[in-house]
Amino acid sequence: MDGVRLADRLAYGAGCAARRAGFLHDAYRPDGPAAPLTLEKRFLRLCVALAQPGGSMSSPAGFGAPFRQAWADWSYLQVGDYLAGPEGVLFVAGIEPPKPMLVVMTNMVVDLVRAAAPVQAGLNHYGAMTPDNEQVLLKGFPASLLLGGVSDRTRAGLPGDTKLPGFTALLPAVPGVRPTLSDMLLDERGDRFVICAVEQMDAVWRLSLLQAVS
């Protein structure tokens, strides 16, 4: 049996297992930097069975752990696809047959914005990011946004000051878009986060964030 046929049979077997143990999910494939879960981007409905990273399906996943193993017929899927089903919205982070897929559970819809460059040389208006000069890089992308990562004291530096909370975000990498330091992530609640570090792992971005308080 050649490698192509073996990969096809492995994907078929994973799909059979998902049909017995999983639930129907709608699959979406982003084709740009906006609204990846619109109806025109849905391309497939298939069964997906989720398990903890260790493979267990008999106990709940750890609190605040976004990663899951997923069984499905991955011959139809690629890294960066979204899957929406009874468990929520998740995206495919890795496909490495014969192992199950690695997926990320999302809990927030986010936008990625950047301060627009000055329109002319020399004297310009206030240059920090404001709603009037934001350049939207990504719009409406489900992501995993969890507390963790770096934190910092408020700028006043008083003894009673609390630390600004740090967060970590995971979302699919989008061709043609590259987050940079000082870009901002905006969530659906209106909270704003400054990007402090960017790491790309295959087709997934991991962003270290600091919550903005002003």
pLDDT of residue 118: 56
Spatial separation of the C-alpha atoms in residues 167 and 153, rounded to whole Å: 14
Spatial separation of the C-alpha atoms in residues 170 and 149, rounded to whole Å: 12
Confidence of residue 131 (pLDDT cuts 50, 70, 90): low
- Are residues 143 and 82 in contact, defined by beta-carbon separation less than 8 angstroms? no
- Are residues 75 and 154 in contact, defined by beta-carbon separation less than 8 angstroms? no
Whole-prediction pTM value?
0.85
Confidence of residue 150 (pLDDT cuts 50, 70, 90): low
Confidence of residue 33 (pLDDT cuts 50, 70, 90): very high
Which residues of the chain form CATH 2.40.10? 108-211
Q: How far is CA 92 from the centre of its chain?
A: 9
For residue 37, is pLDDT > 70? Answer: yes
- In single-letter form, the type of residue at position 164 comes to L
Domain range 108-211, its CATH number among 2.40.10, 1.10.287, 1.10.3470, 3.40.1350: 2.40.10
Element (H, E) at 187: strand 184-187
Collapsed DSSP state (helix, strand, coil) of residue 120:
coil
Q: What is the mean pLDDT of residues 106-124?
A: 78
For residue 93, is pLDDT > 80? Answer: yes
- In single-letter form, the type of residue at position 79 comes to V
For residue 171, is pLDDT > 90? Answer: yes
Peptide bond into 98 cis (omega under 30): yes
Confidence of residue 9 (pLDDT cuts 50, 70, 90): confident
